[in-house]
Amino acid sequence: MKPAPFRMERPRDIAGATALLATGGDGAKAMAGSQSLGPMLNLRLATPELIVDLTGIDALRTVREEPGHVVYGALITHADVEDGRVPDVGAHILRRVAGGIAYRAVRNRGTLGGSLAHADPAADWVNALSALGAEVEIAGPDGTRRLAIGAFLTGALSTALAAGEILVAVQVPKVPASARFGYVKHCRKVGEFAHAIGAVLVDPEAGSCRALMGAIDAPPLLFPDAARLFGGHIDAGFAARFDATAADAALTAAGMDDAVDRHVHVEVLRRAAVQAATLFTETRSAA
Amino acid sequence: MSETQAHEGVGARLPRQEGVGARLPRKEDDRLMRGRGQFIADIRMTGMQDVAFVRSPLAHARIRGIHVPDDLKDRVFTAADLDGVKPIRAVSGLPGFKVSEQPVLATGKVRQVGELIAMCVADTRAEAEDMAARVELDLEELPALHDMLEARKPGAPLVHEHWGDNVFLESLVNINIEAAFDAPVKVSRTISTARQCMAPIEGRGAVIHFDHRCDQLVVHTASQMPHIVRSGLSECLQMEEGQIRIISPDVGGGFGYKAILLAEEVCLGWLAQKLRRPVRWLEDRREHLTANANCREHHYEITLYAERDGTLRGIDCEASVDSGAYSAYPFSACLEAAQVASILPGPYDFPAYRCRTWSVATNKCPILPYRGVARTGVCFALEVALDALAAELGLPPEVVRLKNLVRPEQMPFDNITNKHFDSGDYPQALHRALDAIKADTVRARQTAGERDGRRIGLGLSIYCEQAAHGTSVYSGWGIPMVPGHEQAGARLTPDGGLELRIGAHSHGQGLETTLAQVACEILGIPVARTRLVHGDTAMTPYSTGSWGSRVMVMAGGAVATACTELAERVRRIGAHMLQARLDEVRLENGRVVGPAGDVTISQVAHTWYRRPQDLPADVDPHGLEVTAGYKPQRDSGTFSYAAHAVVVAVDPELGEVEILDYVIVEDGGTLVNPMVVDGQILGGLAQGIGTALYEEMPFDTSGQPLASTLADYLLPGAPEVPLPFIDHMATPSPYTAFGVKGIGEGGAIAPPAAIANAINDALRPVGAEMLRAPVTPRRIVESVLKARANRRSAA
Ligand SMILES: Cc1cc2nc3c(=O)[nH]c(=O)nc-3n(C[C@H](O)[C@H](O)[C@H](O)COP(=O)(O)OP(=O)(O)OC[C@H]3O[C@@H](n4cnc5c(N)ncnc54)[C@H](O)[C@@H]3O)c2cc1C
């Protein structure tokens, strides 16, 4: 379990990184926290000739709070979020997700950008940030571009990143005070990758709801308008109207043949809805 | 006077702060907890080369060719190069056993994924792996056996063609089973345990060089049994045993995996001589998981016959063990199945029994003995089946057990398979467990239901652990290793310290502390002044090593015997020094005390070694160094046991299981150090939880192992292992020094059964029953959905 030989560069700016990656072509790979790439190198599942270590690029570590959203640099670690060293998009929304990723040692090194670029369907940021409607900023040899996260994630372990491009930042919309975020991860032991993820961003005042079922061997199944999963409309009583049959049918349509898998994913989504609903009562009684 | 009395007689007069029974922190932890242990991977030698192996990517294939690039010819070796090296042969003397020869580098065929085909040598492991990647294999794939039940069928592909079938050994025990057939109640179940990996934190590894001064191959290897590895290596390398020295340094967990001679060790033994340089191989986790450390896979068809009050009339069982492709040295491919037949009856007394077993060859790694060996599977099968019987009868599970458990007044008790139970009170252990877990309260809560929709379940299991079984038991199995008397050396140093020498090894058991406690009990020498010399064939007496929970009984008994003799010699010299008659002096608190004064052991040692002129001419010439041999009065084994009780909350929708409470009432006889015993139980419990809920090495139909990292092979972590309540009973063994019993494995035996029973108790109203370990969330949800569908179609 030792990597095949490779060359390593540690550029200081984004342009340097994209230039190196562009010249390296298919044989070049970016590295951030190395928590996913490292194991793949050791197992020789990845055998790049050139590794471009991004951790020397300070520009990728910045965080900007802007009206309506927060922009996180790609090198922000799970632990940065968990510990509150960067602003959250709502009360404990990202912090809660971050604290459920892997173990502390992995969270100390693993990054938002690496997690999204790796595009593991079971990864937490892939799912949580999809549910929250994030956008990514991409830089390449020919300049920068922006993509909605849904367009960025093109398949299991595949993204819209072209050769020479890196993910620079992810922009996450702030969650309005009238909304709540339910996020449930089903796994067998603490720190394990999810076997099913359910997420619900619901705003009964606005009558809106986004819902997501994830960890399905493909990018998450997103319902930008999830009213149909809750009897056609969204109000304070939405969770009780969760329509398991509709969710199940959506999974079948997405190609999930296994009934046990579907049952678990549907149940996890139901719990995410219940969790969001409970957050309303908890915050109300606290006030 | 029996040995027991002799030791107790000496001990009774000595202070107990550091002797037998003291809860003493482990001496070795000072270095281990500070990261100052010396493991195989810490060894550096000048000119040392690293080895990586080319391993078979296929489970079953004919080797048509191995193409080594020309520039690597002197750095890559295949079977054709290994002149004078014999295959590993681990033959059992049981009638009908079929012999497998395991070539240390494959010849002709490969029979498992991960089988060694070539070894590559370089300055670093990474470079050696680069070389391995360049070796091309021309393999003709053959149909592979991934399922032992398929492998047993006529017409199945053959792992070893000349056998004619795939069965290492078939056995049958029948004790009047026909008498049970008219019982009013009959319950049958198919029960199985998964193939597991042992997963000690430290994998295997070896650093080997040839020492020309001593004319010896010096083998540093992480081993539980240095002397047995020496015999195995000498057979394979065709060298005299005296030409081989095995050194086992600190060992980071063994659990049975390090009680096996590996083909890698044989290969490196040859290579070190060929290259005349130190060579090293360190197993990585992928090799560990996919190619080497497999264990546990059992399958049972079990039927219980009973009266309506729960009295067992008989047990009928067909058990298969997936033994893998080869017979492992020294325990052989049939130890597990042979044990199944003899230990399945557990601690129960009933009149009729039949058990047929098959040790089946498949295209998987050889199955190796793992902590508890066959007991974990046997306990799982019998205890889960007993709960099914209790449910069928409408009785609480403890009632069925109490009807059939051997009673204290029957001790010593010979059970239906002639196992000799030395002592114990099994019903009491079960009662204490039920009290401690507050069974009534749990059942009331269960009836009331949970607000979160989870279901509460209470599970029990009880087992017995035969430990330190010796010559009379192992000679019957006829495997390459039969334990006889155990030797220990005890030597006073000139300044009055003590050196103990044993041939077994400590790999987490705390022997450096506990054997010093045994010595302290007899000699009164502080534990801090006693050193344990072990893990080196050049410096220790012969021993079959550390396995079978035998070391405290056997090496502990030998240390006690040696120290008792040493005490006598100290007393004799002390009497000279005090100018007293021998019958006037006694050894007390590390001093020889006479009518008119005393001398310390240190003064005695100083006089013997440094001032012999002070001793009379007719002094006993044997000195202050003793090697003594020991066997308990009966060598059929000590019987420790425990009752486990566990409360779980099961989420029937997602299959998640949370352990809410865990109680262990165990009887390990006299405990030399209760803290160390607790540690053994805690570690065993963690492994038992792994067997119950997490650990599984799945294979696809072509025999590919599917878990090659710890992301896929799930081990319980700290959050998954609760702190149990441990209650000790201490019924001394009548046959051993101090009445100790072996307890090393018990913690890992009972948890799978107890946890599965708790889950089944929780799910019974739903109609789901879990009969396969590990009980994963997916299996639970699958069963729950199936039960719901059945009920719907029945309605
Ligand atoms: C034991 C363990 C448990 C884990 N459990 C979980 C879990 O429960 N949930 C979870 O979500 N994750 C889990 N992970 C994954 C972890 O979160 C990783 O941190 C994450 O997947 C990758 O981030 P990284 O910074 O380490 O990326 P790297 O490993 O450095 O890179 C991963 C991939 O992304 C590419 N890449 C990295 N950064 C960029 C960039 N800025 N632009 C373009 N490409 C880039 C690399 O080329 C590579 O292909 C676990 C990991 C381990 C080791």
This complex has an ipTM of 0.96
CB of A107 within 6 A of ligand 1: the answer is no
Best of A41, A189, A261, A270 to substitute, by most chain B Cβ atoms within 10 angstroms, is A189
For residue B785, which residues of chain A lie inside 8 Å, CB to CB? 259-260, 263
Same domain, A169 and A63: yes
Question: Is residue A250 in a domain?
Answer: yes
- Number of Cβ within 10 Å of residue A67's Cβ equals 5
Same domain, A144 and A197: no
**Whole-angstrom distance, CA of residue B209 vs CA of residue B48:** 9
- The pLDDT score that the predictor gives to residue B2 is 38
- Report DSSP letters for A90-152, one per residue: STTHHHHHHHTSS-HHHHHH-BHHHHHHHT-TT-HHHHHHHHTT-EEEEEETTEEEEEEHHHH
Same domain, A166 and A192: no
For residue A5, which residues of chain B lie inside 8 Å, CB to CB? 126, 130
**Whole-angstrom distance, CA of residue B539 vs CA of residue B537:** 6
Enter the tokens of residue B601.
């052991």
Q: Does B130 touch chain A (CB under 8 A)?
A: yes
For residue A193, which residues of chain B lie inside 8 Å, CB to CB? 711
Domain boundary among A134, A154, A173: A173
Question: Is residue A2 in a domain?
Answer: no
CB of A167 within 6 A of ligand 1: the answer is yes
Task: pLDDT band for B13, please (50, 70, 90 cuts).
Answer: very low
- The pLDDT score that the predictor gives to residue A283 is 65
Same domain, A33 and A93: no
Q: Are B268 and B49 in contact (CB under 8 A)?
A: no
Q: From the list A1, A188, A192, which residue is nearest B286 (CB)? A: A1
**Whole-angstrom distance, CA of residue B11 vs CA of residue B9:** 6
Give how far B82 is from chain A: nearest CA, Å. Answer: 26
Give how far A23 is from chain B: nearest CA, Å. Answer: 25
Query: Which fold would CATH assign to domain B294-406+642-794?
Result: Aldehyde Oxidoreductase; domain 4 (3.30.365)
- Number of Cβ within 10 Å of residue B8's Cβ equals 17
Interface of A with B in 148-187 (CB under 8 A): 186
Rg (chain A; Cα; Å): 19
User: Which chain A residue has the Cα nearest residue B283?
Assistant: A1
Same domain, A184 and A165: no
Q: Are B281 and B268 in contact (CB under 8 A)?
A: yes
Expressed in angstroms and rounded, the spacing between residue B121 Cα and the centre of ligand 1 is 33
- Number of Cβ within 10 Å of residue B267's Cβ equals 26
Residue environment code for B359-393, b if the CB has 16+ CB neighbours within 10 A, otherwise e: bbbbbbbbbbbbbbbbbbbbbbbbbbbbbbbbbeb
Enter the tokens of residue B738.
């101090």
CB of A159 within 6 A of ligand 1: the answer is no
Expressed in angstroms and rounded, the spacing between residue A115 Cα and the centre of ligand 1 is 4
Question: Is residue A127 in a domain?
Answer: yes
- Say if B3-37+485-630 and B294-406+642-794 have the same CATH topology: yes
Question: Is residue A269 in a domain?
Answer: yes
**Whole-angstrom distance, CA of residue B179 vs CA of residue B581:** 68
For residue A264, which residues of chain B lie inside 8 Å, CB to CB? 653-655, 777-778, 781
Amino acid at A43: L
Q: Mean of the pLDDT values across residues B300-306?
A: 98
- The pLDDT score that the predictor gives to residue B17 is 87
CB of A271 within 6 A of ligand 1: the answer is no
User: Which CATH number fits the domain that encloses residue A100?
Assistant: 3.30.465.10
Strand A196-203 vs strand A143-148: parallel, antiparallel, or unpaired?
unpaired
- Tokens 């219940």 locate to A274
Q: Which CATH class is domain B3-37+485-630?
A: alpha beta
CB of A101 within 6 A of ligand 1: the answer is yes
List B192's β-bridge partners, or say none.
B299, B772
Task: pLDDT band for B478, please (50, 70, 90 cuts).
Answer: confident
Backbone phi, psi, residue B695, to 5°: -85, 130
**Whole-angstrom distance, CA of residue B489 vs CA of residue B684:** 30
Q: Mean of the pLDDT values across residues B109-119?
A: 98
Expressed in angstroms and rounded, the spacing between residue B283 Cα and the centre of ligand 1 is 26
Same domain, A158 and A88: yes
Expressed in angstroms and rounded, the spacing between residue A114 Cα and the centre of ligand 1 is 4
Residue B173 has pLDDT above 50, yes or no: yes
Give how far A95 is from chain B: nearest CA, Å. Answer: 20
Question: Is residue A37 in a domain?
Answer: yes
Same domain, A47 and A71: no
What domain range includes position A14? 7-52
Backbone phi, psi, residue B750, to 5°: -85, -25
A194-203, B365-374, B474-483, B546-555: least confidently modelled range: B474-483
CB of A79 within 6 A of ligand 1: the answer is no
- DSSP, collapsed to helix, strand or coil, labels residue A185 as strand
Q: Does B65 touch chain A (CB under 8 A)?
A: no
Strand B353-360 vs strand B312-322: parallel, antiparallel, or unpaired?
parallel
**Cα B725 to Cα B436, B437, B681, distances in angstroms:** 8, 9, 11
Enter the tokens of residue B595.
């009518």
- DSSP, collapsed to helix, strand or coil, labels residue B122 as strand
Q: Are A43 and B654 within 8 A, CB to CB?
A: no
Q: Are B318 and B301 in contact (CB under 8 A)?
A: yes
CB of A115 within 6 A of ligand 1: the answer is yes
Give the neighbor-by-neighbor strand order of the sheet with B597-600.
B586-588, B591-594, B597-600
- Tokens 């940030």 locate to A129
CB of A74 within 6 A of ligand 1: the answer is yes
Task: pLDDT band for B795, please (50, 70, 90 cuts).
Answer: confident
Q: Does B129 touch chain A (CB under 8 A)?
A: yes
- The pLDDT score that the predictor gives to residue A55 is 98
For residue A272, which residues of chain B lie inside 8 Å, CB to CB? none
User: Which CATH number fits the domain that encloses residue A13?
Assistant: 3.30.43.10
Q: Does B653 touch chain A (CB under 8 A)?
A: yes
Residue B183 has pLDDT above 60, yes or no: yes
Domain boundary among A173, A191, A215: A173
For residue A191, which residues of chain B lie inside 8 Å, CB to CB? 717
Residue environment code for B199-237, b if the CB has 16+ CB neighbours within 10 A, otherwise e: bbebbbbbbbbbeeeeebbbbbbbbbbbbbbbbbbbbbb
Domains: count for chain A: 3
Question: Is residue A1 in a domain?
Answer: no
Expressed in angstroms and rounded, the spacing between residue A188 Cα and the centre of ligand 1 is 20
Interface of B with A in 725-784 (CB under 8 A): 776-778, 781-782
Question: Is residue A231 in a domain?
Answer: yes
- DSSP, collapsed to helix, strand or coil, labels residue B440 as helix
Q: Mean of the pLDDT values across residues B229-235?
A: 97
Tell me which residue of A246, A176, A240 sits closest to A205, measured CA to CA. Answer: A176
Q: Does A195 touch chain B (CB under 8 A)?
A: yes
Task: pLDDT band for B3, please (50, 70, 90 cuts).
Answer: very low
Residue B7 has pLDDT above 50, yes or no: no
Ligand 1: which residue has its CA nearest to atom 21? A115
Q: Mean of the pLDDT values across residues B570-581?
A: 97
For residue B720, which residues of chain A lie inside 8 Å, CB to CB? 189-190
Enter the tokens of residue A19.
């230039």
Amino acid at B313: R
Residues of chain A with pLDDT under 50: 285-287
Q: Are B469 and B637 in contact (CB under 8 A)?
A: yes
Question: Is residue A256 in a domain?
Answer: yes
Domain boundary among A154, A173, A192: A173
Residue B734 has pLDDT above 60, yes or no: yes
Q: Are A189 and B778 within 8 A, CB to CB?
A: no
A275: left (phi over 0), alpha (psi -120 to 50) or beta: alpha
pLDDT per residue as tens digits for the range B746-759? 999 999 999 999 99
pLDDT per residue as tens digits for the range B352-402? 999 999 999 999 999 999 999 999 999 999 999 999 999 999 999 999 999
Q: Cα dihedral sign for B601, B602, B603, B609?
A: positive
Domain spans of chain B, in order of start: 3-37+485-630, 294-406+642-794
Percentage of residues of chain B with pLDDT beyond 70: 98
Expressed in angstroms and rounded, the spacing between residue A97 Cα and the centre of ligand 1 is 15
User: Which CATH number fits the domain that encloses residue A234?
Assistant: 3.30.390.50
pLDDT per residue as tens digits for the range B335-365? 899 899 999 999 999 999 999 999 999 999 9
Q: Are A195 and B777 within 8 A, CB to CB?
A: yes
